C-alpha cells in the first residue's frame, strides 16, 4: 500500500510541476466552486463548518488573484484586469455579508462559473493557436 501511495504522490508532484498556471487556476476554481455549489442547496441562515471553509477558501483564492492582478508583472490587458479586480472586491465584500447572514452564496458560484468558462476558453484558444518554430523546438 505504501508503494501505491508513493507512486500517486509522485504522480501528483509531477502533474503540479508540468501544469500551466491557467490549468492550476482552473483546477482551484473548479474544486472550490464545486464545494460552494454543494452548500448552496443546503443554504440556511445558519453557517455550517463545511460552508464556512468553502467560503474561506474561495476568499483566499480571490485574494491571491487580486494580488496577482495588481502586480506589475501581470500581463493581462488593462480592461480584463479592471473587471477581475472589481469581481475580486465584490467577492470579498459579498463573502463578508454571507458570514454575517445577510446574503446567500449563489452569486459567488455564478461568478466563479464565469471565471471557469473564461479560463477554459483561454486554454482552448492557446491549445488551438498555431505554434511558432521556436515553440516547437
Q: Which of residues 120 and 129 earns the better pLDDT score?
A: 120
The three-class DSSP label of residue 75 is coil
**Mean pLDDT across 17-35:** 86
Please check whether residue 6 lies inside any domain of the structure.
Answer: no
Domain count, the chain: 1
Q: 58-93: per-residue pLDDT in tens?
A: 999 999 999 999 999 999 999 999 999 999 999 999
In a domain? residue 5:
no
Q: How far is CA 90 from the centre of its chain?
A: 15
- Give pTM, 2 decimals: 0.77
pLDDT at 14 over 60: no
pLDDT in tens, 92-110: 999 999 999 899 999 999 9
Find out whether 39 and 50 touch, Cβ atoms under 8 Å: yes
> What range does the domain containing 51 cover?
20-128
Amino acid at each position: 500500500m505504501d508503494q501505491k501511495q508513493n507512486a500517486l504522490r509522485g504522480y501528483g508532484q509531477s502533474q503540479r510541476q508540468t501544469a500551466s498556471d491557467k490549468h492550476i487556476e482552473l483546477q482551484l476554481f473548479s474544486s472550490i466552486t464545486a464545494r460552494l455549489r454543494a452548500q448552496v442547496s443546503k443554504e440556511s441562515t445558519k453557517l455550517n463548518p463545511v460552508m464556512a471553509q468553502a467560503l474561506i477558501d474561495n476568499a483566499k483564492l480571490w485574494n491571491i488573484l487580486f494580488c496577482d492582478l495588481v502586480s506589475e508583472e501581470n500581463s493581462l490587458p488593462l480592461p480584463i484586469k479592471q473587471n477581475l479586480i472589481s469581481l475580486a472586491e465584490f467577492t470579498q465584500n459579498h463573502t463578508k455579508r454571507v458570514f454575517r447572514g445577510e446574503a446567500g452564496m449563489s452569486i459567488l458560484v455564478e461568478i466563479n462559473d464565469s471565471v471557469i468558462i473564461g479560463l477554459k476558453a483561454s486554454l482552448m484558444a492557446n491549445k488551438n493557436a498555431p505554434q511558432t518554430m521556436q515553440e516547437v523546438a
